[in-house]
Structure 1
Amino acid sequence: MMLKDAAPRMDKMWWHYPHLRNLNFFLFGAIVLQATNGYDGSMLNGLQSLAVWEDYFNKPTGASLGTLSSGTTFGGLLMLFPASYICDKFGRRWPIIAGSILTIIGAIIQGVAQNFGTFWAGRFIIGMGLALVNNAGPMLLAETAYPTQRPVLTSLYETSFPFGALIGALITFGSYYIDSTWAWRLPSLLQCFPAFIQIGLIYFCPESPRWLVAHGKIEEARAVLVKYHGGGDEDSLLVRLELAEIRAALQSENIKKSGKWIQWLKTKGNRHRLAIILFIPVITQLSGNRIISYYLHLILNGINITTTKDQLVINATLLASEVVSAVAIASYCEMFGRRRFFMIGVVGMLISFIPWTILSAFSQEGNFSNPGYGIGVVAMIYIFMIPYHVVAPLANLFLTEVAPYELRSKASALFQLMGQIIGLFSSYVNPIAMDAIGWKYYIVYCCVIAVEIVVVYFYFPETKGLSLEEISVIFEGEAAAVGAGAYRHGDMEDPAADQPRSLSDEKLGMEENVKSP
């Protein structure tokens, strides 16, 4: 029996059931983790349009601008591999709280900075905090969420990026009217606000049942599952099946000593997993989106839209459209599947990026004589971000599904490492290349997206409808000890294996059965 078959049906929406309402409320603290990341790029974008910020830091361009924007990248690189160890050692909750505290400290230093070095140091500390929370957050969501809601909740994690970016854009736009250094200090200080929400919610959030089982805390894991997945029913079939699957999978992984780094190369399945994990950041970070997130100012300058107010308005409205599209796509990720959405996203990005490149060429080569080309470029940027947000919400969901438990924190570290390397490349190369060759640089991204289409088509499997443990079958074959197979082979005692009950017999600890949303 698969988990989706054991999950009781819901007659009402999930918020009518106290155990799901409480669980999702606490998990919201993990969903908003990317808001700080999104705020960062949007804020830096907006600050480049503020004369008071440019004057204070001597109009940074090229390598200087790249150094400022890469402060968070360097901090993230320093913390990446320690973050993997910390998450394995201390769980998922406490690393998020520790990372949030680091983010608050960094934002304060950034906001009170007196020079270039101090501003960069604040961003470096923020990057360290982001590495911790971004390592632990997706794992907490994937490993703790109610089984039928796991895909949507994990996908919503990435949607907080454009939401945070929108808040950053609006705050920076508002500070346009402040005639002092507070025009950039205030947005810099407010970057720490999401971290307070994270700390307040994650402190009360349950720990990952899979982490608890892996550390021998079986009864604590069972208590979490009974309270938040079984609605208090000690005899819940769903809880018993979940716990049995987790224990069977972890027992199998321990036998194979799959927690070591070298295990990524030991089997064909793990090599396939590794290739996917390293390639996902290419799609989410190297498809042209980072030049929009961090250098929209330069793009708009390149099509002769140079006024501060116009740039800030375009930035804010673009991000508002991103939030809507990201949430809409994340809500339907389970309906259409991962691979199909990845294909729609990468093809859509290429279709919009080609005319973006052509119109930019006409605009710059024509010395901006036809403003219609510039308007067309802006329109293509808006359109581009829709298919991008078809792909972006799937990144962390697919990462947590592809990686087995014992390698999941390491997978997160590798995922972030690849993303940070690409981010470092983008921070230095993008502003220099855009200044040097203008629209011709966009051709590089068209070629990269074309390669992405080929890789997704041939190498990305479909994981729709499977639990984290059941997905192992895709990579390891039927020998993977998951679900009912584990029971048949006697790997795990399951009191319901011989006499499975129908859902109508399942006691939920509620007055009504629950129907899947």
Structure 2
Amino acid sequence: MVQQSVTAKPPKGHFYLAGRVFPRVKWWRKHNMRLLYFYILILIATNTANGFDNSMMNGLQTLSYWQDYFNHPQGPTLGLFNCVMSAGALTGLVILPFMLDHLGRKICLVFGSIFMLIGVALQSGSINFSMFVGARYILGFGDIIVICTAPLLITEIAPAQDRAILVTIAGATYHSGAFIAAWTTYGTLKIKSEWSWRLPSLVQGIFTLTMLAVVWWIPESPRYYVSKNNPDKALEILAHYHAEGDQTDEMVQLEFTEITTAIALEKSGDQSSSFLDFLRTTGNRRRLLIIVTFGLFAQWSGNGLVSYYLNLVMDSIGITDANEQLLINGALTSFNLATNLFFSFFVDKWGRRPIMLISSAGMLIAFVIWTILSARYDTHASSSLGSGVLGMIFIYYLFYNLKSGLIASYTTEILPYSMRAKGYTIMEFAMYIALFFNQYVNPIALDNIHWRYYIFYCCFLVVEVVVIWFFYLETRYVPLEEVTKIFDGHDIANVTNMEMEKIECMGKNMTTATHLETTSA
């Protein structure tokens, strides 16, 4: 193996692990790896249900049967319809980190899925406002448990060569759900009954049922087993899925040693594994700043206006026909799905920090133009200005989609195992606080101050660019267990490097032993 700095780009067709360069494994030729990637695909699809819900609520607001059934909600009432799901999610976040650390990832997936199905059933069969709101609270409680757990499990079972791309795609598949929901509600527009809004809600349960049927066979996180003093089970999983069962495989041994070493170092540091850990060191305080701000950036970048209230934005620029609004919603979600998936494959090639800076700066420029055109339309209404606003929404989302998948991959990779569940929960908590605000306040603000409300998001995007420029760090090409050296400085780096030297010696000894066995045979 070639010793090389992990900050440099690896040779084509290779990847880094433990400071070494390995050739990429052609996973499609390996039976167990093909199975692992199928399981990861199922985990990726969990975010589809979340995206489905957001787009579905956009679509339902354009359906006359839904509006008539719930007496045309608007302002605070309409905000409550949407934000109650975030209230349920915030409740789920309170217990989630303790469940993840003590019960494991798979139990959390099962637990969250059951609550999601209960919520879907109640929402589909709602007979009044209270039942619909209660159903969405339960749905939000289960949904947050699933969508927080799945990226963590993908991060911890995925092969090192594809980890960043797979977790980024997991974040991007939010838009696959939005895509399906947008066109589902467009299709049910033609149903002349209450089923025009009940049917989309039932469809939402398909993704959760699929995951619940497969989750029993998905492997538990090897890092969870190591943390629970069951390293043999961790090695068995790594060997089975990464090397077709060969526990002596050099790459498997290096992965296993990195995981056990990293978790042992975390435990030996007298860490309490509590939320207070985020305040104890400079590196952890920087991690806390990043995950909190990234959670806020995910929802306070202006996207909340379109995610839940596209119909209000369209009304403000003279596009009021329900059929046309649903077509625009479908076109936008199709555009978002295509661009998100495309950008996911460049997360390593382009780097995390450049992607985030270009994304935020591009959103800022697009949103400023969007605001100016909306102000002009308010005084001189014309179809050309309305079309300009619509065009800027698409350009805005082009830049937003550039980094949206990184919400899952960047926040999971900067956190060491002992802090990963709690840190990801903090990020989601910040995101859902912002989302709760958006869902409740946005329709009220749009009703009262119209386009002037956009100025808030223009200012916030300026703050976003500044924070990313000064505080976010680059982590591309760095293996999961080695990211800590970027955040925690030379002391931890020296300790980790000593362990890596042991790993290197072990790898050489293992290679020599294998050679001797082959010769004697």
Residue 327 of structure 2 corresponds to 313
* 1:487–1:497 CA contact under 8 A, matched in 2: no
Q: Distance in 1 between matches of 2:251 and 2:472?
A: 29
Question: Deviations 1:137-160 (Å, cap 9, x if unpaired)?
Answer: 111011110001000000011111
Selected match of 1:115 from 107, 112, 128: 128
**Residue 476 (structure 2) aligns with:** 464
C-alpha distance in 2 between matches for 1:198 and 1:415: 24
Deviations 1:76-126 (A, max 9, x none): 111102111111111111211221121111001000000001001111111
Contact 1:7/1:147 (8 A) holds in 2: no
Instruction: Quote the Cα distance in structure 2 between the aligned partners of 1:400 and 1:11.
Output: 23
CA distance in structure 1 between the partners assigned to 2:32 and 2:116 by the alignment: 31
Count of aligned positions: 499
**2:339 counterpart letter in structure 1:** S
Q: Does 1:440 align with 2:452?
A: yes
Cross-structure match for 2:189: 176
Is 1:393 aligned to residue 405 of structure 2? Answer: yes
Deviations 1:9-64 (A, max 9, x none): 2475x323223211110111211111111111111111111111111111111110
**Higher normalized contact order (CA 8 Å, seq sep 6+, divided by chain length):** 1
User: Could you state the TM-score of these two structures normalised by the residue count of structure 2?
Assistant: 0.92
Whole-angstrom CA distance in 2 between matches of 1:464 and 1:253: 23
Q: Matched residues in 2 for 1:494 and 1:221: separation?
A: 21
CA shift, 1:499, in A, is 4.1
- Partner AA of 1:343 in structure 2: L
CA-to-aligned-CA distance 1:383-429 (integer Å, 9 cap, x gap): 11111111110011111111111011101111111111101111111
Task: Give, as a single letter, the amino acid of the residue that structure 1 aligns with 2:177.
Answer: G
Q: Does residue 1:21 correspond to 2:34, yes or no? A: yes
Matching residue of 1:515 = none
% identity of equivalent residues: 35
Give the C-alpha shift of residue 483 in structure 1.
Answer: 5.6
Is 2:172 the counterpart of 1:159? Answer: yes
5 Å matches for 1:270-349?
270-349=284-363
Q: Residue 379 in 1 paired to residue 391 in 2? A: yes
CA deviations on 1:461-484 (whole Å, 9 max, x unpaired) are: 000011121000011123326765
Cα distance in 2 for partners of 1:386, 1:131 equals 26
**1:201 Cα offset (Å):** 2.8
- Aligned-partner residue type, residue 348 of structure 1: G
Give TM-score, length-normalised by structure 1: 0.93
What is residue 11 of structure 2 aligned with on the other side?
Answer: none
- Give the AA of the match of 1:221: A
Q: Which residue number in structure 2 is paired with residue 510 of structure 1?
A: none
Q: Which residue of 1 aligns with 2:8?
A: none
SS at match of 1:114: coil
Indicate yes or no: 2:435 matched with 1:423. Answer: yes
TM-superposed deviation, 1:494:
7.1
- Choose which of 499, 502, 506 in structure 2 pairs with 1:496: 506
The partner residue of 2:464 within 425, 429, 452 is 452
RMSD between superposed Cα atoms in Å: 1.9
SS at match of 1:263: helix
User: 2:163 maps to which residue?
Assistant: 150
**Alignment of structure 1 residues 27-46 onto 2, 5 Å:** 27-46=40-59
* Inter-CA distance 140–417: structure 2 relative to 1 (3 Å threshold): same
Q: How far apart in 2 are the matches of 1:210 and 1:485?
A: 21
1:190 and 2:203 correspond: yes
One of 80, 83, 96 as aligned partner of 2:96 = 83
Q: CA deviation digits over 1:352-398, x for unaligned, max 9?
A: 111111111111221x2x10011111111111111111111001111
> Which ranges of 4 or more aligned residues in structure 1 deviate by more than 3 Å?
4-8, 481-484, 497-502
Matching of residues 53-68 of structure 1 within 5 Å: 53-68=66-81
CA distance in 2, matches of 1:190, 1:71: 21
Does the CA contact (< 8 Å) of 2:24 and 2:161 recur in 1? Answer: no
What's 2:23 paired with?
A: 9
- Which ranges in structure 2 are unaligned for 5 or more consecutive residues? 4-15
User: Cα distance, 1:135 vs. partner?
Assistant: 2.1
Can you give the 5+ residue segments of structure 1 that lack an aligned partner in the other structure?
Answer: 508-517
Q: 1:351 aligns with which of 359, 362, 365?
A: 365
Contact persistence 2:235–2:247 (CA under 8 A) = no
Shift in Å at residue 5 of structure 1?
Answer: 5.7
The residue number in structure 1 matching 2:282 is 268
Q: Which amino acid aligns with 1:436?
A: N
